[in-house]
């Protein structure tokens, strides 16, 4: 079985606390035409480099019924900056247009097969996966960006077309797994084939 969720598979449910003081589950986003779930964190240079591009994409597509949910699954023991208090602080500072959830048990990261930060998953109205991978091709330095795969996938889907590139390699730092070396990857994730 593949580590990462496959195209066409249903979004796994979750019930996680958010920086706004509420707890959210998948059904709380039932009204979204498209749901973008992405694994992110507070410190990774690839996240910090591309967050404003992600913000622009979120703001561009929100009026068309697209909702964004960020999930931080990183172990705070591996990287103390990734704890919940720092998440709350980060959202206060940046006012990102997404819900920011804490997956302390890392169960949600395992259910989705999150590999890196950031790692994006785009689900259609029926919550089937239509795109997964990177947001852009140069998240650490967006000035070198040549393609915004996330935006392309959203545009194509909302225009009623199939997503032309449904699978890309996420570019970023490894998810920081509890009790593992900071660079550890699940062995079953090492044989993934991407475009």
pLDDT value of residue 6: 95
CA distance 64 to 185: 36
What's the rounded mean pLDDT across residues 100-120? 96
pLDDT band (50, 70, 90) for residue 186:
confident
Phi and psi for 89 in degrees, rounded to 5? -60, -45
Task: Look at the block and give the residue holding tokens 């019930």.
Answer: 15
Omega into 118 within 30° of 0, i.e. cis? yes
Tens digits of per-residue pLDDT, 149-169? 999 999 999 999 999 999 999
End-to-end CA distance of the chain: 19
* Overall fold of domain 9-174: Glutaredoxin (3.40.30)
Contact (CB, 8 A) for 14 and 35: no
pLDDT value of residue 184: 81
3 state SS for 130-158: EEEECCECCCCCHHHCCCEHHHHHHHHHH
Six-digit token string for 161: 């077309």
Residue 34's contacts (CB-CB under 8 Å, 6 or more residues apart) are 61, 64, 65, 66, 67, 122, 123, 124, 125, 154, 157, 158
Pairing relationship of beta strands 66-72 and 34-39 according to DSSP bridges: parallel
Angle at which helices 149-158 and 45-61 pack, to 10 degrees?
A: 20
Between 90 and 188, residue with greater pLDDT: 90
| Domains of the chain, residue spans | 9-174
């Amino acid at each position: 079985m593949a580590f990462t969720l496959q195209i066409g598979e249903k979004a796994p449910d979750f019930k996680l606390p958010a920086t706004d003081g509420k707890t959210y589950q998948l059904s709380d986003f039932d009204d979204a035409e498209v749901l973008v779930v992405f694994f992110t964190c507070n410190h990774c240079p690839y996240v910090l480099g591309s967050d404003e591009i992600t913000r622009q994409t979120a703001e561009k597509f929100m009026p068309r019924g697209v909702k964004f949910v960020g999930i931080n699954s990183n172990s705070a023991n591996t990287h103390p900056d990734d704890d919940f208090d720092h998440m709350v602080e980060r959202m206060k500072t940046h006012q990102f247009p997404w819900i920011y959830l804490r997956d302390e048990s890392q169960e949600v990261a395992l259910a989705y097969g999150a590999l890196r930060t950031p790692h994006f998953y785009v689900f259609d109205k029926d919550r089937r996966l239509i795109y997964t991978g990177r947001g852009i091709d140069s998240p650490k330095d967006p000035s070198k960006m040549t393609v915004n795969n996330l935006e392309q996938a959203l545009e194509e889907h909302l225009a009623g077309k199939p997503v032309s590139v449904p699978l890309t390699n996420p570019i970023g730092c490894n998810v920081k797994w509890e009790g593992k070396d900071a660079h550890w990857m699940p062995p079953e994730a090492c044989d993934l084939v991407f475009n």
